[in-house]
Structure formats: structure tokens, C-alpha cells
Structure 1
Amino acid sequence: MDTYSFLRELADSWVLLILTLIFLGVIGWAFRPGSHPIHEDAAAVPFRHDRPEEARADE
């Protein structure tokens, strides 16, 4: 068996399985029960330095 055929067979079977398991692990990690506050904080990053509405009304 030449190298290309071996690597192609490996990629079609085991590497695909490993990458699928890694993908599912990352999805599971992102949606774990304790991660909600972390995601809320990350979602608020673009708005951290916005001025409050009271400061805008004074202008």
C-alpha cells in the first residue's frame, strides 16, 4: 500500500471520527450548565465602554 492510499484511508476513517468527537466535545463544553455567565460577559464586551443614557441626554 502506498503512502497516499494509507493516509487517505486513515483520514476517511479514524481522523474523521476523532474530529467529530472533538467537535462534539467543544459543543458540549460551550453549552455546559455553568457557562452561561461567561457567555453573557463575552456578549457584553462591545458595550462595556458605552456611556449611560443620562450622559447622552446632557449633550
Structure 2
Amino acid sequence: MQRLTGFFSGVGREMKKVSWPKGKELTRYTVVVVATVLFAVAFFAAVDYGISSLIRAILE
């Protein structure tokens, strides 16, 4: 039990050292992440559609 208490005490000390982003930074980072995910979704959907169309054309 002593080790577990020491672990969480250490976690608490380290969390106080963390540099948390301000509101404006957090908003900017969130927009970048969402835009990146949407780009990846669109890219892989287009690739999937292209490969599916190619396979359908070959099989017909």
C-alpha cells in the first residue's frame, strides 16, 4: 500500500509541473486535430471508392 501511495504522490507532483495550454491554444490545437482527421477520412474514403470501382470494373 505504501508503494501505491508513493506512486500517486509522485504523479501529483509531476502534474503540477505540466505546462497546460491556454484556452486560445487549446482551441487552435483542437481545430488542427479535427481538420487532420477529416482530411484523413476524406482521403481514405476516396482511396476506398477508387479501389472498389477498379475491382468492380475488372470483375465485370
Same fold at TM > 0.5: no
Provide TM-score, normalisation by structure 1.
0.43
Provide TM-score, normalisation by structure 2.
0.43
